[in-house]
Copies of this chain bind each other. A is one copy, B any other.
Amino acid sequence: METSKKAQKIGILTAGGDCPGLNAAIRGVGKTAIVEYGMEVLGFNAGYLGLINNDYTELKESQLSGILTLGGTILGTSREKPYKMVKKNGKTDTHKPEKIKKNYKKLGLDCIVCIGGNGTMKTASMLAKEGLNVIGIPKTIDNDVWGTDVTFGFDSAVQIATDAIDRLHTTANSHQRVMIIEIMGHHAGWLALYSGVAGGGDIILLPEIPYNIRSVCKKIENRYEDNKPYSIVVVAEGIDHPKNQTAASHLSEAIQTYTGIETRETVLGYIQRGGSPTPMDRILATRYGAHAAQCIAESNFGTMVAMKNNELTTVSLEEVGSNLRLVQPEHPLITKARKMGVSFGDEYQLIE
């Protein structure tokens, strides 16, 4: 696909789970493309489904006004994965990527901007291999996309989760209870770590750090003896636990059994994904979007925009693949928190 001609017509889509800042990113791409580069911008509906079904609307500048602060995505989203082979009427359906390529050509697109998380970047990378001009923008409240220091959506989710922990604090103190709050994060514990530290959690459990339930209880009992008969336990949903329970209810039962102290659990759930983005997420999403438009103008395709050491840059989509950026157990924030008395559930060597 020749890249020497000036890009004139681009598409945007948002894929994967909801996340604050999607509209800010769409606006960033679209306004820059229109105002600075005079491009035509198409918005594809419902993620990759829109590309497959040629379902799109043209985005004029006026439609990009007033969406900076809106949660959700004006384009809709879906978890459609066009390269996932599915049986259809007994036969494997291999036509989705073909449909995408056909629509891409038919519309005369010069680039597709794919805004999403790990799965979205993986698909974007495969489309790039097929010869399409693709640029990725990393979003996810989990902050676990490889190749960038930060994704938009994370700051907003930290705010929501921390606000919830703040609220539980007053109840924990007033009732002298152990309050357990389960935070999103199947594989990566960034959200639990940041909201746990910001919310003053006494115990923070992450998927990346195997915990020992007796160690957790010991911390709670030590606090109790130290005249602090309440504790806040912040736990990522992805920690080791029986599959027929939530992480929170598993911990709640275990703690109550071992310590005899009253416990209550809260599973924060989908409210972490919605609502107006924080100012910092608006700025980050805007910068990512604007940078993606600039990359198109510079024919820098097959890349994902990224932030490294506070500088906007790009990484190869192939490198990003579907790699996860996990929390390192020796992350400085963990080390600092441990020194202030926060437990990560792995402190005590216990002989059962």
Residues on A lying within 8 angstroms of B by beta carbon are 14, 18, 22, 28, 31-32, 35-36, 46, 62, 65-66, 68-73, 76-78, 149, 155, 158-160, 162-164, 166-171, 173-176, 179, 194-195, 197-200, 227-228, 264-271, 273-275, 278-280, 282-283, 286-287, 290-291, 293-294, 309-312, 332-333, 336-337, 339-341
User: What are the residues of chain B within 8 A of A175 when measuring CB–CB?
Assistant: 18, 76-78
Known: A66-B173, A76-B173, A171-B274; 14 extra A-B contacts, CB below 8 A, are A14-B174, A22-B174, A32-B336, A69-B166, A71-B167, A164-B271, A167-B273, A198-B280, A199-B279, A278-B278, A283-B333, A291-B336, A293-B339, A312-B332
A266 near B274: Cβ-Cβ < 8 Å: no
A18 near B198: Cβ-Cβ < 8 Å: no
* Nearest neighbor of A228 in chain B, beta-carbon distance: B65
Interchain nearest-CB distance for A3 vs B (Å)? 21
The answer to whether residues A339 and B171 also contact, given A76-B176, A269-B267 and a CB cut-off of 8 A, is no
Complex: A171 Cα to B271 Cα, angstroms: 9
Interchain nearest-CB distance for A251 vs B (Å)? 15
User: What are the residues of chain B within 8 A of A282 when measuring CB–CB?
Assistant: 162, 197-198
Interchain nearest-CB distance for A164 vs B (Å)? 5
A36 near B339: Cβ-Cβ < 8 Å: yes
B197 near A336: Cβ-Cβ < 8 Å: no
User: What are the residues of chain B within 8 A of A268 when measuring CB–CB?
Assistant: 271
A28 near B340: Cβ-Cβ < 8 Å: yes
Complex: A303 Cα to B149 Cα, angstroms: 27
Complex: A291 Cα to B335 Cα, angstroms: 10
A287 near B333: Cβ-Cβ < 8 Å: yes
A339 near B273: Cβ-Cβ < 8 Å: no
Partner of A267 from B197, B267, B291 at Cβ < 8 Å: B267
Interchain nearest-CB distance for A185 vs B (Å)? 16
Complex: A170 Cα to B268 Cα, angstroms: 16
Interchain nearest-CB distance for A204 vs B (Å)? 12
User: What are the residues of chain B within 8 A of A28 when measuring CB–CB?
Assistant: 336, 340
B73 near A279: Cβ-Cβ < 8 Å: no
Partner of A32 from B265, B275, B339 at Cβ < 8 Å: B339
A340 near B32: Cβ-Cβ < 8 Å: yes
Complex: A280 Cα to B6 Cα, angstroms: 41
B275 near A170: Cβ-Cβ < 8 Å: yes
A270 near B340: Cβ-Cβ < 8 Å: no
The answer to whether residues A179 and B291 also contact, given A279-B162, A283-B198 and a CB cut-off of 8 A, is no
Complex: A78 Cα to B282 Cα, angstroms: 31
* Nearest neighbor of A164 in chain B, beta-carbon distance: B271
B174 near A271: Cβ-Cβ < 8 Å: no
Complex: A76 Cα to B170 Cα, angstroms: 10
A168 near B271: Cβ-Cβ < 8 Å: yes
A179 near B31: Cβ-Cβ < 8 Å: no
Complex: A35 Cα to B342 Cα, angstroms: 10
B31 near A341: Cβ-Cβ < 8 Å: yes
